[in-house]
Amino acid sequence: ATTSENKIVMQASQIPKEDFFDEHITGINQEETSKTQASGVSENQTSKKIETEKPAVEFKYAVGETVFAKWSEDDIWYRATIKAQNEYNGNPEYLVNFSDYGNDATATENNIVIAASEIPKSEYFDEHITGITQEET
């Protein structure tokens, strides 16, 4: 196997926190984790990952969950489904699919609700959302 010079370190403490390393490397805090075959480590091998001090992001909504999300392009609420969870700058965000139109977009937790009744009455929502009324302004 070959590696580039920028992938070589002199001390274990120089291994980037997001990188995996062999179980035989000692002297740094680590947690057990496994890597998939796609990343070059067979499933029966153990590799380790450096512990990060930052806590994991907690997600309020699950993948596949039906929600209402506000599209950032027009500030209108639409029916949506959570397609993926992501972390952006330590905050949870979601890839949503707008059910009635088929397009995908990223939304933050403050722009997602479970029930149509949770959509602020002063905000606009799509014609496909039923069961609530628009507040007159």
50 pairs with which residues across the strands? 30
Global pTM value: 0.59
Structure token digits, residue 90: 């330590």
Element (H, E) at 87: strand 76-88
For the chain, residues with pLDDT lower than 50 are 30-39, 41-43, 50, 52, 137
Cβ proximity of 19 and 12 under 8 Å: no
86, containing H or E segment = strand 76-88
pLDDT given at position 132: 80
Please tell me the predicted confidence (pLDDT) of residue 15.
Answer: 74
What is the per-residue pLDDT for 93? 96
Given this model, what pLDDT does residue 62 score?
A: 97
Question: Rounded CA gap, 115 and 123, in Å?
Answer: 15
**Predicted pLDDT at 3:** 63
